[in-house]
Amino acid sequence: MIESFFTGLILIPVTHFRTFGIVNNMKKVVVVGVSASGKSTFSRELSKKTDLPTIFMDEIMWNPGWEYIGDEATVSALDKESSKTEWIIEGYVTTNARTFLFERADTIIYLNYAPWIATCRYIKRWWNHRVQSRPELVGSPEKFSFKFLKLVWTKGEAISLKRFLQDISDQSKIITLSSPKEAEEFLSRAL
């Protein structure tokens, strides 16, 4: 079942999450969305249900102390990881890696939540991990930034992501989850 929804700037055809048949056949899954939307948490839960290994983009992209490894090293690492037979890759995918990663994926899950959800989660994440880092970001405690908060609130990262999703040749592999409740329902049906 293909449906369309208006995103504000772009009309994107997406496979609605009600078509859960794809859940049983997932082997290569990309989980994307704006920062602090809950990609890591969702991916951990999906991994428990499917036994697929989870690859965290933050773990690939950042050395301790928030030292970015660079675009070339990120793309190379992502190319290596996505060449494996089974995976869940979650997080911000650099623009120059999206094409090959999205083509290799059999399922793309887009967490397209309301801005206030990601904003609240960003503040909560910063508070909880300002001293002790998240598991996927060893040695990199969270830093609060009003500039980043604005990016999360305005869903600034989503504009280019939506364009990439729109250009994917096989739209049937895109599952858009528009709320945490939809994500919970999706996970409850994953085998």
pLDDT at residue 160, rounded to an integer? 87
Q: What is the pLDDT at residue 126?
A: 96
pLDDT above 80: residue 122: yes
**Of 62 and 156, more confident:** 62
Confidence of residue 157 (pLDDT cuts 50, 70, 90): confident
* Mean pLDDT score, 171-188: 95
Supply the DSSP symbol for 19.
-
| Torsion angle (degrees, nearest 10) of CA 63, 137, 46, 54 | 30
Q: What is the pLDDT of residue 4?
A: 39
What pLDDT is recorded for position 85? 97
- Give residue 5's pLDDT band: very low, low, confident or very high (50, 70, 90): very low
Least confident of 18-27, 78-87, 111-120, 145-154: 18-27
Q: Name all domains of the chain by residue range, CATH numbers in brackets.
A: 8-185 (3.40.50.300)
**Of 188, 181, 164, which Cα lies nearest the Cα of 32?**
164
What tokens does 21 get?
């048949």
Name the token pair of 54. Answer: 């989870």
Indicate the Cα dihedral angle 43, 49, 55, 56, nearest 10°: 20
Per-residue model confidence (pLDDT) at position 76:
97
The rounded distance, in Å, linking the Cα atoms of 65 and 1 is 45
Can you give the pLDDT at residue 94? 86
Residue 29 has pLDDT above 90, yes or no: yes
52, 30 Cβ separation under 8 angstroms: no
Which value, in Å, is the radius of gyration of the alpha carbons in the chain?
A: 16
